[in-house]
Amino acid sequence: MPEFDPELEKALAQLEKDLANLFAPEQPENSPAAPAVDMSVNLAGMTMKNPVVVASGTFGFGREYGEFYDLSELGGICAKGLTLHRREGNPAPRIAETPMGILNSVGLQNPGVDAFIAEELPFLRQYDVKVIANISGNTPEEYGIMCEKLAGAGVDMIEVNISCPNVKAGGLAYGTRPELAAEVTRMAKSHAGAVPVMVKLSPNVTDITEIAKAAEGAGADALSLINTIRGMRIDVNTRRPILKMNTGGLSGPAVLPVAVRMVWEVANAVKLPILGMGGVSSGEDAAQLMLAGAAAVAVGTACFADPFAPLKVRNGLAELAVEQGLSAVSQLTGGVKPW
Amino acid sequence: MKVERNCKIVHRSQTGDAVFMVLEAGDMVRTSYRNPGQFVHIRCGDSLLLRRPISVASCREDYPSDLVTIVFEVRGAGTAWLADRKLGERLDVMGLLGNGFPVKPEGRYLLVGGGIGVPPLWGCAQRTSGRSTAILGFRSKEKALMLDLFREDCAKALIATDDGSMGYHGFVDALVRQELEQDRAYNAVLACGPRPMLRNVAKAVKEFGVPCKVSMEERMGCGVGACLVCACDMKDGTRKHVCKDGPVFDAEEVDWDA
C-alpha cells in the first residue's frame, strides 16, 4: 500500500483547486471582502442580509441551484408556488422564447403544501436565508388552510399568489377584482399568525393600485409585483401557438419597464413595503426597482441563462451603492426624482 | 455536481447539416458524468435568454481539461449562432446534465437512433467496447451521419432511410423487429430520435419483452430541474421533467398517447 504523503495530498488538492479555477467562468466572489455598504434590508419586519430574493417558480425549492453556490448568499428564497394538493401542471410545451423574454405555462406543478413542509423546508432550513412560501388556492378557505400549515411549520413569510395566469380556478381572478383580493388577503392574514403575509399582484389589470389598496385595506404586510404578463406566440408555419395552453405568462428583460412603472405607481398608492420583480438581471435593473419604491428585489428568469445571476445582481447593487456614496443599499428605496 | 464552464472549441467540422464540436470542458466530466446520453446546456449569445440543450455524443476525462464532443444541426436562432462559432472560441456551457442511458460496460445493447437523435448513442457504443448493435435511421443518404464511427464502435451497424437512398427503405422500427426476431440477447434497446419514431420502436420492442429506454425531447428552460417547463407525461398520470428526471425514461412509463 502506498504511504500517505500529506505533502503530495496537499499538492494534489491545490492542483484540483487551480484547475477548477482555471476553467470556471468569471463568477462573483462568494464573500465580498468587508462590504463598504450595509446591504441588509427589512421587508415587513423580516430582515434579510441583502435585498436579493429569487422569484417563485424559477428556483424550485433551491436544491438545483444549491449545487452551483451556497444558498446562504441570497437574501431570500421564494419557493415554487404551492397548492393544497399536489398538481401536475399543464401539458408541454410550457415555454416559448420571445424577444428578450420568455412565455411560460407551467400551471403550478408542485408536490402540495404538506410535502413541501415535510421534505423541502428542512432542506432550505440548512441555509442562512429567509424562506418565503408562495401559495395559490382554489378558494379563500384553501388559502387559510395553507397559511395555517405554513405558519405552524415556521416559514419566514407567506407570499399569497392571487395572480397566476396559468390556472383556471382562482388564480388570476383573485388578482383582478379588488373585493376578491381583499377576501383572500383577510383569510390568509387570519390564519398566518405572526408570519407576515405578502400579496403578489398581477400586472394584467387596468389599475394595479386598486388591487394594492384592497390588499392593504385587508391587512397585507407587504406586496410583491409584478407577476408575469399574459402573452402568446404563434408558429407561423404550423399556425399553432408554441404553448400547448395557447397563452402564458411573459417574463424576462422585456417586462422590466412595466415592473418599474407598476412598482412606482403602487409605492405612491400604499404604505406597504414592496418586493419588486420583473426582468431583473443586473444591479442597475434592481436599483431601478428600488428607486421606484421597492424595499427588496427578486430575480427570476435571469437564472435560466445564468445560474449566478442573483449573486451578480447583489454584487452589482453593492457596487452601485458604493459608487453613489450610500452607506446602506436601503437608501435607494423610493429615491426616484420624478419630473 | 453540475458545473458551468467556459469551454474552448478545439475541433470543429461539418458533415452536411451536422456540426461536430469538441470542447475543452475543464472538470465537467470528472464532476458530473453519470452515463452516456447526458446533455450540455449552452448559452447562445446575449440576445437569446434560453440556453440550448445539446446532447453529448461522447466525453472523456482528460488532463488538464476534460473533452466533450457535441453534434448538432441548425434548427433555429440558437443553433445557428452556435454553428457560427469558430475554432478557438469559448462557449458558456452548463453540464453534464440529465441522467443518460444506464449502460453497463459489460453489457450488449441494441442502439436505435433517428436523425439528430443518433449522436448520443455513440457514447453508448463506445462504453460497450464494440459489443452493441446500431440501427440508424435518416431521411436520406445525404442526411446520414456518424456512420463510420458507429461501424467502428459496434459489432454491426444497420442503416435505414425514409426514401431508400441508402440501406433499408423504411423506418427503423422494422429493422428493430427483424433484428430482435433473430437475436434478442440484448440487455436493452436504447433509442433516441423524434417522438413518433420512439413510440414505434417502443411498441416493436415490447413485443419481444426486451427492456427499452428512450431519450425524450421537450422545450427546456433552466436545464437543471428548477423551472419545471420540460414536462413529459407519464402513464401513471404524473408529469416528469426531461432535464432532471430524464432525458432517458423507461419506454414503459411514458404516456405515448399524450
pLDDT string in tens for chain B (258-residue length): 789 999 999 999 998 889 999 999 999 999 999 999 999 999 999 889 999 999 999 999 999 999 999 999 999 999 999 999 999 999 999 999 999 999 999 999 999 999 999 999 999 999 999 999 999 999 999 999 999 999 999 999 999 999 999 999 999 999 999 999 999 999 999 999 999 999 999 999 999 999 999 999 999 999 999 999 999 999 999 999 999 999 999 999 999 998
Of all residues in chain A, the one with the smallest CA distance to B41 is A305
Interface of B with A in 46-75 (CB under 8 A): 47-51, 64-65
Considering CB atoms only, which of B3, B64, B226 is closest to A65?
B226
How far, in Å, CA of A88 to CA of A307, rounded?
25
Residues A201 and A208: beta-carbon distance below 8 Å: yes
Residue B126 CA to residue B124 CA, distance in Å, equals 5
Do β-strands A248-251 and A101-104 pair in parallel, antiparallel, or remain unpaired? antiparallel
Length of chain A in terms of residues written: 339
Q: Which residues of B touch A19 (CB under 8 A)?
A: 26-27, 64
Amino acid B16: pLDDT: 84
Q: What is the dihedral of CA B54, B55, B60, B64, to 10 degrees?
A: 10
Which residues sit opposite B114 in a β-bridge? B137
B64–A307: do the CB atoms touch at under 8 Å? no
CA distance B156 to A35: 63
By C-alpha distance, the chain B residue nearest A111 is B238
Contact A65 B92 (CB under 8 A): no
Kindly report the pTM of this predicted structure. 0.92
Question: Which residue in chain A has the smallest CA separation from B45?
Answer: A305
* DSSP code, position A210: H
Specify the 3-state DSSP secondary structure of B110: strand
In chain B, domain spans? 3-97, 109-215
Q: Determine whether the interchain pair A95/B237 forms a contact, defined as Cβ–Cβ distance below 8 Å.
A: no
| CB pair distance less than 8 Å for A307 and B50 | no
pLDDT > 90? residue A49: yes
Residues β-bridged to residue B191: B112, B214
Contacts of B237 in chain A (CB under 8 A): 88
For A107-148, write each residue's pLDDT tens digit.
999 999 999 999 999 999 999 999 999 999 988 999 999 999
The residues, any chain, with a CB within 8 Å of residue B27's CB and separated by 6 or more, are A16, A19, A20, A23, B3, B5, B66
The cell for B106 is: 459489460
Q: What is the pLDDT of residue B1?
A: 78
Q: What is the pLDDT of residue A33?
A: 47
Distance CA A143, CA A82 (A): 10
Q: Is the pLDDT of residue A15 over 70?
A: no
The set of residues, in sequence order, having a beta carbon less than 8 Å from that of B208 and lying 6+ positions away, is: B180, B181, B184
Domain B3-97 - what CATH class? Answer: mainly beta
Name residues whose C-beta falls within 8 Å of residue A274's C-beta, 6 or more positions apart in sequence.
Answer: A222, A223, A224, A225, A263, A266, A267, A293, A294, A295
Check: complex ipTM more than 0.90: yes
| The dihedral formed by the CA atoms of A251, A257, A263 and A269, expressed in degrees to the nearest 10 | -130
pLDDT band for A284, please (50, 70, 90 cuts). Answer: very high
- Report pLDDT for A174: 83
A164 carries an active-site annotation: yes
CA B219: distance to chain centroid? 15
Per the structure block, which three cell numbers stand in for A96? 416559448
Give the three cell numbers for residue A3. Answer: 504511504
In terms of CA atoms, which chain A residue is nearest residue B238?
A88
Beta bridge partners of A94: none
Interface membership of B29 toward A (CB under 8 Å): no
What is the rounded CA–CA span in Å between residue B234 and residue B212? Answer: 15
Distance (Å) from the alpha carbon of B18 to chain A's nearest alpha carbon: 23
Architecture of domain B109-215: 3-Layer(aba) Sandwich (3.40)
DSSP of B6-53: EEEEEEEEEETTEEEEEEE-TTHHHHH--STT-EEEE---SS--S-EE
Cell numbers found for residue A277: 420583480
Quick one: A24 exposed, middle or buried, by C-beta within 10 A (0-12, 13-18, 19+)?
middle
Which residues 217-246 of B have a C-beta within 8 angstroms of A? 218-233, 237-239, 244
**Is residue B30 helix, strand or coil?**
helix
Which of the four CATH numbers 3.20.20.70, 3.40.50.300, 1.10.760.10, 3.40.50.1980 does domain A50-328 have? 3.20.20.70
Binary contact (B26, A20; C-beta < 8 A): yes
Grid coordinates of A186 = 383577510
Instruction: Verify whether the Cβ–Cβ distance A58 to B227 is below 8 Å.
Output: yes
Options A78, A147, A164, A303, the catalytic residue: A164
Q: How confident is the model at residue A173 (pLDDT cuts 50, 70, 90)?
A: confident
Give me the pLDDT at residue A4, please. 54
